[in-house]
Structure 1
Amino acid sequence: MKRYIGTLAVAAMLSCTIPACTPESSTKELGPLPTASFTATPLTTNPNRVVVSSTTKGGFIWNWTISDGTTAKGEFDTLHFSKAGEYTVQLTVFTNGGYATTAQKITIANDAPTKDLLNTTDWTILNTGGTQTTITNTNGTINFSNTGNTNGAIYQMVMVKAHTPYTVAANIKGAGATNSWLEVYCDTIAPVQGKDYGGTKYIAMNTWSGCGSIPFDGNIAEIGCDGGGKGKNGYMEFSKADTVWVVIKGGSSGGTLGTGGMTLSNIQFLEEQ
């Protein structure tokens, strides 16, 4: 059975006073239902990066969904997998005959080799104005604590390359806070002493957004519930080589950071090699 798209325009009245007023109609046959398919090819220079390319004819919209929570769009893309494991990549493609979905499993044999750009002793305390959060650094383990309304940060500068995968990670632990935040920024805006940091927030614990109010212990890139990097597992890239400041800011407004505060350990900014 053929399927048609039909349009019909008729006069609103039985008689038409406009000269040469006639109905118009047209039909257009739909295309065949598509069969979704794609190829997935690891780069020879980096097997943790996989080029996926739709092989479905006539596609005009392509949606990719990966089991690690990331997504992509376009007829082809390069997917990045920093950790070894098995991943499911799903493609949904739209044509003039409808849409279809297919999936493949991709196995990544090894974690991507990385280099940590941070130095555990190079953190600088940033006074953000107002009452300062108490911040201590014990051999790279950073503690943010307070007993009332405060704000404060630490920062460190790194140099990044264009179109290179980076991953930010840090184990964060706390007993549970109220009306508080602990935020990670990876931005080209330089911190200024005496001023609050206004860069783009990447990932954060934020009690108003639903994380940090009960005891927690995990990778902030995974358990953080606020920021543009939410759901990206710490992954980011930069469009050009640049100077980037890794800024970690914590404080409270109408609450506290909890008993013992929030403690960060194993803070990393990893550059894939």
Structure 2
Amino acid sequence: MNFHYSNNIRTIALATLVAGAMASCTPESSDKDLAPLPVASFTAEPLAGNANKIVVSSTTPGGFIFEYKDDNGNTSTRETDTLSYFEAGEYTIQFTVFTSGGYAKAVQKVTIAQTAKTQDILKGGDLGAGSEQHWTVLNTSGTQTDIRIENGAMHFNNTGNANSNGAIYQKVAVKQGKSYVFSGKVSGKGANNSWFEVYIDKAVPTQGSDYGGNKFVSLNTWAGCGKVPFSGDLAFIGCDGAGTGKKGVMSFSQSGDIYIVIKAGSSSGSLGDGGIVLDDIKFLEEI
């Protein structure tokens, strides 16, 4: 059986829908006034037993959205949270809170008396003789970036107008509630159309497949870094990834194995004359 609808029926139906929508959007009358503007306030106290962690907690009545930011790269949107500081120094914590009356900001300074005690849980990070046994080269399919550990460093190379990719990785066990810091000295003479990335993720690398997941920090010529000669700690000079600006600091919501995957390549480009060199890689765990 076929059904046919006239234009008149369609017009009536549309008018009915519009009228209903307008009726549903009519504001209700109310004598209620907006709440007064809030005065932002929060506490910032050292964690018991660990002076390198600061517990921040809102004391603003009626708050329902919270944001903490500091000049150490820490951020949080919880009402109460713990911020970690590895290096001694003075830090500024900025707090923003929203209530039914609007939003307000507050600022506090905290002083960290001493640098946190840590241990390096990465194996072969000094890249000296025998360190290659702790690292596995990952074939990501396609033309492979040349990756070698020699002369006390990790070398990533390709030639000409290359389309290459490749990675090297190591498995590490982490603990919930601990803070960790990644660092590595990276240098190069300037690349083009290229990437140099550090992934820190629980996904297991698979030979013959590219690696994705949580890109922590990277040099990326499209993002604006790595195009001119560079030398420094990748955690500080990298311009792309979730850990950008966080000075290499991270934590994990669960204990277990994670993989530190270092990936480099080019798309019709080059890693530069002599390639990219990485040395003195560390993955520090808070003691």
TM-score range, shorter chain: 0.7 to 0.9
**Cα distance in 2 between the residues matched to 1:36 and 1:77:** 16
Q: Which amino acid aligns with 1:108?
A: I
- How far residue 95 of structure 1 moved from its aligned partner, in angstroms, is 2.5
Corresponding residue SS for 2:262? strand
Q: What RMSD over aligned residues (CA atoms) do the two structures have, in Å?
A: 1.8
**Cα distance in 2 between the residues matched to 1:170 and 1:55:** 40
**Cα distance in 1 between the residues matched to 2:28 and 2:196:** 64
Q: Could you state the TM-score of these two structures normalised by the residue count of structure 1?
A: 0.86
Q: Is 1:67–2:79 an aligned residue pair?
A: no
Contact 2:217 2:240 in 1 (8 A): yes
Contact 1:131 1:149 in 2 (8 A): yes
Count of residue pairs brought into register by the alignment: 251
Instruction: Specify the alignment match of 1:261 in structure 2.
Output: 275
**Cα distance in 2 between the residues matched to 1:88 and 1:113:** 22
**Cα distance in 1 between the residues matched to 2:212 and 2:68:** 33
Q: Is 1:136–2:140 an aligned residue pair?
A: no
1:206 pairs with 206, 220, 231, which one?
A: 220
Contact 1:70 1:231 in 2 (8 A): no
Choose between structure 1 and 2: higher helix proportion.
2
2:168 pairs with 146, 151, 154, which one?
A: 154
**Cα distance in 1 between the residues matched to 2:76 and 2:146:** 41
Corresponding residue SS for 2:236? helix
1:80 pairs with 80, 84, 87, which one?
A: 84
- How far residue 140 of structure 1 moved from its aligned partner, in angstroms, is 4.7
- CA-to-partner distance for each residue in 1:80-119, whole Å, 9 max, x for gaps? 1122111001112222333322211101111211111111
Q: Could you state the TM-score of these two structures normalised by the residue count of structure 2?
A: 0.82
Q: Is 1:145–2:153 an aligned residue pair?
A: no
- How far residue 207 of structure 1 moved from its aligned partner, in angstroms, is 0.8
Q: Is 1:252–2:266 an aligned residue pair?
A: yes
1:196 pairs with 210, 219, 229, which one?
A: 210
Instruction: Specify the alignment match of 1:182 in structure 2.
Output: 196
Structure 1 residues 33 and 24, CA gap change in structure 2 (3 angstroms) = closer
- How far residue 156 of structure 1 moved from its aligned partner, in angstroms, is 0.9
Structure 1 residues 128 and 33, CA gap change in structure 2 (3 angstroms) = closer
Structure 1 residues 96 and 158, CA gap change in structure 2 (3 angstroms) = same
- CA-to-partner distance for each residue in 1:3-36, whole Å, 9 max, x for gaps? xxxxxxxxxxxxxxxxxxxx97321133333322
- After TM superposition, the structure 1 stretch with the greater mean CA deviation from structure 2, 84-93 or 185-194, is 185-194
**Cα distance in 2 between the residues matched to 1:140 and 1:197:** 26
Contact 2:196 2:220 in 1 (8 A): yes
Q: Is 1:116–2:120 an aligned residue pair?
A: yes
**Cα distance in 1 between the residues matched to 2:98 and 2:41:** 12
1:97 pairs with 101, 113, 136, which one?
A: 101
Q: Which amino acid aligns with 1:144?
A: F
Write the mapping of 1:34-49 to structure 2, written as runs, cut at 5 A. 34-49=38-53
2:58 pairs with 54, 57, 72, which one?
A: 54
Q: Which amino acid aligns with 2:264?
A: G
